[in-house]
Amino acid sequence: MLSSVRNRLAPSVVAVLAAVLLCCRATTAVSYTPADQQPTRFMHIDLNGAAAGGADAYADNAVPYRGVCLGGWFVLEPWIVPSLFNPHINGTFNNHSVWDEYSLVNYIGMKDATPMMLEHWDTWITEADIAEVAQAGITDVRLPVGYWMLNPLPNETWVPGETYFFDRFLGWARKYNIRVLLDLHGAPGSQNGQDHSGHRGPLDWDTDLTVQTLKMFILYIRDHGFTDVIHAIELVNEPWWSVDPKIVQDFYVNAYSAIRQSSPSFTNTLNIVFHDNFNMNAWGGIMEPPAYTNLFQDSHQYHCFDNSLLAMDYAGHLNYTCNNTRPAIVTANKYHPTFMGEWSLATTDCPQWANGFLNGNRWEGTLSPGDPVFGKCTGNFGTDVTQFTPDYRAFLRQFTEMQMDAYEAASGWYFWTLKTESAPQWDFLMGLREGWIPNPVTKREYHC
């Protein structure tokens, strides 16, 4: 269990939540029922101390977005929070390793998983974190969530209680004038078979249940008075490139229509975001105005999961950013407002479990037999920032600012991710504190 005491909820409250969930036999999360379908109106506790559903201070579409993702919080990822997974390195569930949130919860059992997850949700992201990034000029947050928060499938076991912390965060976002992009990171059946979908393994994506889940989130946001905070909703994160593009496109069309119809007073002007299915410039002429409005495209660019990029020197990464990625995103932006929804400063895949729990890495040639070796995961590519050389720190600053500049030539960016346990090049807060991310984020020396 995490032992952090960072700005945490009072321990007694966590204990009470855990006791209530366990003693009342809340053995898994349950589906959300909209307020207008409940026998009596539920009580909404305003965790922020301000009137819920206030003036729509976030409705403008001012771009570029300057945002950060809150990875590893409501959807666990072993490489972001390895301390939750490493104690179970020899564990198995359904004949495979304990390698995602679902298998972790089911392997250790609800008695132990419930207090563990409650503490994680309470302490991983704090109000102080949100205040710090807001002070640094961050205007937007991309918040990954899983379907199981509101729409768990029958016969699945998940720890309930996320919505308390979800609501609390939205109160912080309102307080610090942060716009929130709600990102469905894990869809029923898994849209990509990766651990960051909640289920690593076979891809068995149920698009109909995904549309149902999106509608549940819309109604939850409406019923709980957070329509002023949720600026956009992302239909699904990273549907895998092996999925038939026609299936993805049909899902987007159906999901767009369902959201627009689900609560028109809220959703008629809500920004809707689609991921580009790893093909940034394939969406021209598809889902365009006037039939589709307030529709944004999300692209992701990393420099650490492809051998051709791993082979580059520092200058090569900067050149690729300005002369390859920048023109591509500017072109995509002509058809749909396009932002870089995930990017980092990593030029290696060295962080433990970056390629999945128990998997090796490309940098040292340990991911697959016969892989080339690019270097060692030490020094500049290790976890100890005190070992970073001045030249490498200077590169990180350049790489940060030139990526920001490239993506702001379109509709902006969201850095992945706010914090990690041991991956400095992926850690926005660490970058701010160490000086390779500018503070404020608009105070820059380098550009394309």
The residues that are catalytic are: 238, 342
Please state, as a whole number, how many other Cβ atoms lie within 10 Å of the Cβ of residue 42: 11
Q: What are the tokens at 54?
A: 């206030």
Give kind and range of the element (H or E) at residue 267: helix 264-267
**Burial class (CB within 10 angstroms; exposed 0-12, middle 13-18, buried 19+) of 27:** middle
Residue 36 CA to residue 40 CA, distance in Å, equals 8
- Collapse the DSSP code of 37 into the 3-class scheme (helix H, G, I; strand E, B; otherwise coil) and give the result: helix
> Measured in Å, how far apart are the chain's first and last C-alpha atoms?
44
Angstrom distances, CA of residue 235 to CA of 69, 114, 417: 16, 28, 20
Please state, as a whole number, how many other Cβ atoms lie within 10 Å of the Cβ of residue 10: 9
Residue 87 CA to residue 41 CA, distance in Å, equals 43
Contact between residue 407 and residue 64 where contact means Cβ atoms under 8 Å apart:
yes
Contact between residue 304 and residue 346 where contact means Cβ atoms under 8 Å apart:
yes
Q: Is the dihedral of CA 85, 89, 92, 95 positive or negative?
A: positive
- Collapse the DSSP code of 69 into the 3-class scheme (helix H, G, I; strand E, B; otherwise coil) and give the result: strand
Contact between residue 428 and residue 415 where contact means Cβ atoms under 8 Å apart:
yes
Residue 1 is which amino acid?
M
Contact between residue 192 and residue 240 where contact means Cβ atoms under 8 Å apart:
yes
